[in-house]
Amino acid sequence: MFGLFKTKEKKTVILAPTTGTLMPLDDVTDDVFSQKMMGDGFAVQPEDDQVIAPAGGTISTVFPTKHAIGITTSEGLDILIHMGLDTVELEGKPFSIAVSLNDHVEAGQALATMNRDQIKASGYDDTIVVIYTNMEKLKNYPTVVREHVVRGSQIGEIVYA
């Protein structure tokens, strides 16, 4: 009978959006991300051009310049997947988007392909940043350390407030 009235914590598994080196936001060379002005999260220095959904939800934003995609989870958490640093200036050229606004996506589903060679040849950093933009929705989220990850592998779990 004890615990009958406890509500079960709501959690979402977070996946690596691509294969590469996982790192904390503190290590990102762009101050907007490293100083967590938009929220907290993690980054991946990619070894792969394929980008997948780190969590399931509804596509809430597809930037016209194709460099960033937003997902809103069923619990209302907004997750921004930002491909490259300052790549907004490339006007979408190195990106191919596989989803549309309001599409429902599952964790691990293809979101985009980015041409890393084209991004780097244009003088930009190809780091992928994943940000939880409305942190008040979260009680806990994964703390990451620098390590190699494979696209689709579990980074950790977010726990909703």
* 22-160: in CATH 2.70.70.10: yes
pLDDT in tens, 6-54: 668 899 999 999 999 999 999 999 999 999 999 999 999 999 999 999 9
Q: Measured between alpha carbons, how far is 73 from 63 in angstroms, rounded to an integer?
A: 18
In the numeric block, which tokens belong to residue 94? 């190195």
Cα angle vertex 106, ends 94, 151, to 5°?
55
Model-wide pTM > 0.85: yes
Q: Is residue 82 flagged as an active site residue?
A: yes
| 65 neighbors 92 (Cβ within 8 angstroms) | yes
**Helices of type H across the chain:** 31-34, 116-121
pLDDT at residue 133, as a whole number: 97
What are the domain boundaries of the chain? 22-160
